[in-house]
């Protein structure tokens, strides 16, 4: 019979006791040598390290966390990794966390509050000292803070939550985009929005309305279309709106998913952008500058937002930052591209 380990046999991993024995010292000395905490003679330390290396010893983080009553895990709750927005956010977070020796634990909530709560429960069970969340409900954050877990909200903020947050100035971005359309002479601008429960939705709508008000253009509620979350919802929504309101000359899609839907629908209907209808998006994605014409969009510093959130959290965890909750605002920039044109006449 071969000595090759088969795929099916389990394996007892070396403990600090094994290392200690191999080095001829006590477990406590081995611990001190390994962690660098406390005294350990240089010679002993070397011997322990060698033994550990030889045995392929990797300390059990669970046992360590149990003893130390803390760990270097950070929970991250997002909605959908397949949406590049969230993926970029996670990437930004991971980058900062990793550099600080923290490990990210990603939880997907799929936009579902039940799953969000379940995810939070998982993180609680893992005793993460801190979390970064794109909140769906206020319960999740409340539960976390009630258990003493640090929370930083990113992208959007739940009204009740008394925690740090890193946000993009949606209102400003939406006002810039809408203002741009208005300056080009557009007056009937459709606004597609998928939610009005979060600060993002509200902020974007507010920015839209403010731009109208600034230019003395009447707000027409019929032009504000509430879009569902499913794939194709935006396409359907814009299709029906154009049916009823063929006088619409421009569309403002309040996120990248809806922008994609609208863009697809335009292609399908052989509507020319920007000749037949102008288009602007909130949240810039690579494809928007690759299509013809490129889509004008409000660009958010997504990776930076994630990074900033991680920094804030780390500062809280280390005690560098104390006191009242901080809200960090990041400014989006409006990228004018080819999808908008001046209305003739």
Partner DNA sequence: CTGTTAGCGCTTTCAT
Partner DNA sequence: ATGAAAGCGCTAACAG
- Which listed option, DNA, its own copies, none, makes contact with residue 26 (CB within 5 to 8 Å by class)? DNA
Quote the least distance from Cβ 202 to its own copies, whole Å. 25
Check if the beta carbon of residue 188 is closer than 8 Å to that of residue 245.
Answer: yes
End-to-end CA distance of the chain: 89
Among 2, 37, 146, 320, binds DNA (CB under 7 A): 37
Among 46, 54, 60, 231, binds DNA (CB under 7 A): 60
Output 62 or 219, the one with its CB closest to its own copies. 62
- Which listed option, DNA, its own copies, none, makes contact with residue 34 (CB within 5 to 8 Å by class)? DNA
* Residue 3 binds its own copies, judged by CB under 8 A: no
E-only strand ranges, the chain:
73-78, 103-108, 130-133, 150-155, 164-168, 189-193, 224-226, 250-253, 278-282, 296-299, 327-330, 333-335
- Which listed option, DNA, its own copies, none, makes contact with residue 28 (CB within 5 to 8 Å by class)? DNA
Residue 214 in tokens:
């600034």
* Residue 34 binds DNA, judged by CB under 7 A: yes
Residue 30 in tokens:
């081995």
Check if the beta carbon of residue 107 is closer than 8 Å to that of residue 76.
Answer: yes
Among 46, 53, 54, 66, binds DNA (CB under 7 A): 66
Residue 10 in tokens:
């389990």
The three-state secondary structure class of 85 is helix
Residue 297 in tokens:
């969009």
Stretch that binds its own copies, among 17-25, 59-67, 192-200, 238-246 (CB under 8 A): 59-67
* Residue 103 binds its own copies, judged by CB under 8 A: yes
The three-state secondary structure class of 133 is strand
Stretch that binds its own copies, among 23-31, 100-108, 196-204, 307-315 (CB under 8 A): 100-108
Quote the least distance from Cβ 304 to DNA, whole Å. 35
Which residue in the block uniquely carries the two structure tokens 């009005």?
196
Output 13 or 226, the one with its CB closest to DNA. 13
* Residue 11 binds DNA, judged by CB under 7 A: no
CA dist., res. 90 & res. 83, Å (int) = 11
Query: How many residues line the site for DNA (CB under 7 A)?
Result: 31
- Which listed option, DNA, its own copies, none, makes contact with residue 230 (CB within 5 to 8 Å by class)? none
Q: How far is CA 220 from CA 28, 190, 324, in A?
A: 73, 9, 40
Quote the least distance from Cβ 282 to its own copies, whole Å. 18
Check if the beta carbon of residue 58 is closer than 8 Å to that of residue 65.
Answer: no
**DSSP string of 159-211?**
TT--SEEEEE-HHHHHHHHHHHHHHTT---EEEEES-SSSHHHHHHHHHHHHH
* Residue 69 binds DNA, judged by CB under 7 A: yes
* Residue 137 binds its own copies, judged by CB under 8 A: no
Going edge to edge, which strands form the sheet with 224-226?
224-226, 189-193, 250-253, 278-282, 296-299, 333-335
Output 5 or 36, the one with its CB closest to its own copies. 5
Among 46, 50, 63, 81, binds DNA (CB under 7 A): 63
Interface with DNA by CB under 7 A: which residues? 12-13, 15-17, 25-32, 34-35, 37-41, 43-44, 57, 59-60, 63-64, 66-69
Residues that bind its own copies (CB under 8 A): 5, 7-11, 13, 56, 58-63, 65-66, 71, 80-82, 84, 87-88, 90-91, 94-95, 98, 103-108, 121-122, 124-127, 143, 145-148, 150, 162-163, 260, 263-264, 286-287, 290-292, 303, 316, 319, 322-325
């Amino acid at each position: 019979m071969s000595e090759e380990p088969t795929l099916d046999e389990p394996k007892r991993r070396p403990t600090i006791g094994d290392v200690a024995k191999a080095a001829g010292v006590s477990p406590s000395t081995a611990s001190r040598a390994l962690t660098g905490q406390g005294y350990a003679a240089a010679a002993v330390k070397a011997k322990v390290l060698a033994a550990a290396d030889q045995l392929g010893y990797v300390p059990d983080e669970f046992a360590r966390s149990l003893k130390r009553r803390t760990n270097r895990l950070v929970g991250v709750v997002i909605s959908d990794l397949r949406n590049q927005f969230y993926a970029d956010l996670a990437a930004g977070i991971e980058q900062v966390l990793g550099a600080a020796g923290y490990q990210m634990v990603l939880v997907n909530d799929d936009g579902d509050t039940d799953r969000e709560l379940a995810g939070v429960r998982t993180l609680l069970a893992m005793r993460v000292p801190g979390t970064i969340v794109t909140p769906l409900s206020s319960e999740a954050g409340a539960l976390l803070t009630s258990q003493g877990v640090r929370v930083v909200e990113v992208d959007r903020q739940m009204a009740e939550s008394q925690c740090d947050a890193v946000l993009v100035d949606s209102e400003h971005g939406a006002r810039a985009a809408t203002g741009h359309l208005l300056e080009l002479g557009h007056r009937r601008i459709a606004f597609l929005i998928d939610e009005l429960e979060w600060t993002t939705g509200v902020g974007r709508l507010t920015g839209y309305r403010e731009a109208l008000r600034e230019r003395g253009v009447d707000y027409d509620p019929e032009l504000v279309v509430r879009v569902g979350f499913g794939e194709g919802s935006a396409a359907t929504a814009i299709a029906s709106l154009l049916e009823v309101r063929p006088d619409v000359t421009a569309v403002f899609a309040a996120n990248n998913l809806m922008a994609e839907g609208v863009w697809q629908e335009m292609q399908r209907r052989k509507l020319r952008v920007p000749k037949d209808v102008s288009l602007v998006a909130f949240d810039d994605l690579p494809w928007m500058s690759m299509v013809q014409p490129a889509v004008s969009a409000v660009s958010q510093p997504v990776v930076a937002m994630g990074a900033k959130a991680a920094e804030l959290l780390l500062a809280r965890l280390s005690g560098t930052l104390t006191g009242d909750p901080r809200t960090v605002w990041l400014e989006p920039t409006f990228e004018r591209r080819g999808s908008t044109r001046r209305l003739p006449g």
